[in-house]
């Protein structure tokens, strides 16, 4: 599964603003998917107590 055309465009824009380098759609697709994979690996809900209640940061459960 890949990023949408809009997501690729947004990523390219953000990348240019941060690094001042224009990248291709293919490179943006690869780097964007790598970033999403990274967040999927590191994101974990925060346990609010020892009774297995979980809290989602920035979500409706706060």
Helix (H) or strand (E) holding 27: helix 25-42
Strongest mean pLDDT among 18-22, 46-50, 52-56, 58-62 = 18-22
For the stretch 1-51, pLDDT in tens is 799 999 999 999 999 999 999 999 999 999 999 999 999 888 877 666 655
What total of structural domains would you count in the chain? 1
| Nearest residue to 62 via CA among 48, 43, 51, 50 | 48
Do the Cβ atoms of 12 and 32 come closer than 8 Å? no
Q: Using a cut of 0.75, tell me whether the model's pTM lies above it.
A: no
Distance CA 31, CA 36 (A): 9
Residue 55, beta-bridge partner list? 46
Instruction: Report the pLDDT value the prediction gives residue 45, as an integer from 0 to 100.
Output: 72
- Whether residue 60 lies inside any domain: the answer is no
Domain that holds residue 37: 5-55
């Amino acid at each position: 599964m890949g990023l949408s055309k809009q997501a690729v465009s947004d990523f390219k824009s953000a990348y240019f603003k941060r690094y001042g380098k224009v990248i291709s759609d293919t490179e943006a697709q690869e780097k964007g998917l790598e970033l999403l994979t990274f967040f999927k690996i590191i994101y974990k809900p925060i346990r609010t107590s020892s009774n297995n209640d979980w809290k989602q940061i920035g979500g409706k459960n706060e």
